[in-house]
Structure 1
Amino acid sequence: MRASNHLIGVVNFLTFLLAIPILGGGIWLSTQANSTDCMRFLQWPLIIIGASLMVVSLAGFAGSCYRNTFLMYLYLWVMFFVIAALIGFVIFAFAVTDKGSGRPVLNRAYLEYYLEDYSGWLEKKVADNSYWVKIATCIRDSKVCNNMGRYVNGVPETSDMFYNRKLSPIQSGCCKPPTDCGYMYVNETVWGPGGGLVGANPDCSQWSNDQRIVCYLCNSCRAGVLASLKHSWRKVSIINIVVLILLVIFYVVAYAALRNNKRMDNDESYGETRMTKAHPSALHF
């Protein structure tokens, strides 16, 4: 086996290893969807890309071991489409999460989230009432708000302790009323009216101490989901960018090695042809 075939085999093995973080990122997004984000569609392209990369790298590895040109060319063609799909995924993930972030609040460690800070396709999808019903039900069933309670030496945390907590976007947007509504802290998910509601925030009238409702109907809850999605997708996309750069390098190396194999095959064929013409008697015994 030529050195080029060995090189292609090594590249395919490394490609197989690179498929693991892609597949792992898709699975991680899936767990996020099951626990907090509740948006179950973006993880599948990553899972499909990762699985496809694993399969094609194994095919390329077999082709390099057995000098099967068809399998090696199949590896290069499928790799091209996998790289293109991964580029498309990264661009899409950054495009739909390019706007919006939490707002700091005076005397609070957590951020507040407002739907008007977000825009674009993803915001419209989350804001759609027919789709939001499914997301809100998923968040309620995940018991994110039910699990917010904390105790210090067996005593529930005070309001000051709660205000100094780093809440997740879902916890801040869905499990408590917005700060500008003027509600008074009772516990993490129960709030009493203070000196009257303030501001014109429509979420103020949506808040309920009913633990089945809390702020699941609030725009702040929708904004919290968008912020959580942005954080998750950006984290996975950064990993995918690193993987993408390495995949392109491996693709170029594999392509160059395959061309080198083809050139050497042509040189051998040409050499055999010349020998045959120079010594025709070599064909007879």
Structure 2
Amino acid sequence: MALNKNVIGAINLVALLLSVPIIATGIWLMTQAEISCINLLNWPVIALGIAILMVAIFGIVGGFRKIQLLMVIYFVAMLVLMVLLGALVAFAFSVTSRGSAHHEPNRAYLEYRFDDYSGWLRRRVHGRVRWARVWNCLSSSDACLKLNQTFHNAQDFFNAPLSPVQSGCCKPPTECGYTYVTPTYWISPINMTADKDCLAWSNNDQLCYGCDSCRAGMLASLRQEWRKAGFVLLATLFFLACVYVVGFCVFRRSKTDELFKKYKQGQHSSSYT
């Protein structure tokens, strides 16, 4: 088969290199402290990245060795993987399309509400069993403990840009009217509202881990990181598609040249008979 092995091999090498940012994105998601308690997107991303890497190796071998079967496997498998990656990116943007933060007077940090997020995300942290695992993971981290080491008066705390998890899990919601003592110790108001998050706050190790605001803070962090990852994956998918199209065109051109060469050889042979 008259493949231009240098061109095909180089194109497939680029496809292999493009698997690196996909795998790296999955690993990056895994290392983000605030969403490490919910492993939803990282493993599918890593698996797709590894699959693309393996398929690209097939393409490189098929290109340099001129093995047509491997090239066919490469183009079919890579197309399937690109469709799966595109579907994953679309899904990530779809389930994170909802969600917003709310400002409170005289507060630099933001408040988060559970109902603002998509139903699919809410179901990932809903229910005793699911949330118990997240609760245990959060309580074993230092997300709340380090606030006591950082802020020593109310004004500094109120002016701090807390992370979504710190805002939702480490303090009572601002609307509850609690009085600040330390970042994780608050005096309850005389007239407590009936809001369940206000009643769920505790000055012991429980803090607001059982609050909907904590679930919302977790989803807010997850939403931020997923959308960052989504843009990286979308850009990678675009370049991967470009490499795929160029490689497919070169492959088809090579096959056309081969057929034309065989035709000319046949014509040349028939002229002597």
Q: Taking structure 1 as the reference length, what is the TM-score of the superposition?
A: 0.90
Matches of 2:64 and 2:191 in 1, distance apart? Answer: 73
2:78 maps to what in 1?
79
- Contact 1:197–1:204 at 8 Å: present in 2 too? no
- Equivalent residue letter for 1:83: M
Matches of 1:117 and 1:267 in 2, distance apart? Answer: 62
Instruction: Identify the range of structure 1 (111-120 vs 215-224) with the bigger mean alpha-carbon deviation.
Output: 111-120
Question: Which aligned pairs between 1:28-47 and structure 2 lie closer than 5 A?
Answer: 28-32=28-32, 35-37=33-35, 38-47=37-46
- Contact 1:115–1:219 at 8 Å: present in 2 too? yes
Residue 251 of structure 1 is aligned with which of 244, 248, 251? 244
Give 1:242 deviation, angstroms: 0.7
- Contact 1:183–1:197 at 8 Å: present in 2 too? no
- Equivalent residue letter for 1:266: L
- Contact 2:197–2:211 at 8 Å: present in 1 too? yes
2:201 maps to what in 1?
207
Q: Say which SS state the counterpart of residue 166 (structure 1) adopts.
A: coil
Question: Which aligned pairs between 1:3-152 and structure 2 lie closer than 5 A?
Answer: 4-32=4-32, 35-37=33-35, 38-151=37-150
C-alpha RMSD of matched pairs (Å): 1.7
Give 1:148 deviation, angstroms: 2.2
Listed one character per residue, the Cα deviations across residues 104-131 of structure 1 (whole Å, up to 9, x for unaligned) are 1111110011112223111122122221
2:222 maps to what in 1?
229
- Contact 1:180–1:198 at 8 Å: present in 2 too? no
- Contact 2:61–2:70 at 8 Å: present in 1 too? yes
Task: List gaps (5 residues or longer) in structure 1.
Answer: 281-285
Give 1:191 deviation, angstroms: 1.4
- Does 1:240 pair with 2:243? no
Give 1:2 deviation, angstroms: 6.6
- Equivalent residue letter for 1:201: D
2:271 maps to what in 1?
278
Matches of 1:119 and 1:249 in 2, distance apart? Answer: 33
Listed one character per residue, the Cα deviations across residues 189-221 of structure 1 (whole Å, up to 9, x for unaligned) are 11122x42454321111011112x110000000
Q: Say which SS state the counterpart of residue 191 (structure 1) adopts.
A: strand
After TM superposition, the runs of 4+ consecutive aligned structure 1 residues lying more than 4 A away are none
- Equivalent residue letter for 2:198: C
Listed one character per residue, the Cα deviations across residues 156-215 of structure 1 (whole Å, up to 9, x for unaligned) are 52110011111111000001110111111121211122x42454321111011112x110
- Contact 2:3–2:63 at 8 Å: present in 1 too? no
Q: Say which SS state the counterpart of residue 185 (structure 1) adopts.
A: strand
Instruction: Identify the range of structure 1 (120-129 vs 78-87) with the bigger mean alpha-carbon deviation.
Output: 120-129
Residue 217 of structure 1 is aligned with which of 207, 210, 215? 210
Give 1:274 deviation, angstroms: 2.1
Q: Identity rate of aligned residues, in percent?
A: 38
Provide the aligned length of Structure 1 versus Structure 2.
272
Matches of 2:8 and 2:159 in 1, distance apart? Answer: 55
Instruction: Identify the range of structure 1 (161-170 vs 38-47) with the bigger mean alpha-carbon deviation.
Output: 38-47
Give 1:82 deviation, angstroms: 1.0
Matches of 1:148 and 1:53 in 2, distance apart? Answer: 42
Task: List gaps (5 residues or longer) in structure 2.
Answer: none
- Equivalent residue letter for 1:186: V
- Equivalent residue letter for 1:200: A
- Contact 2:98–2:118 at 8 Å: present in 1 too? yes
- Equivalent residue letter for 1:210: N
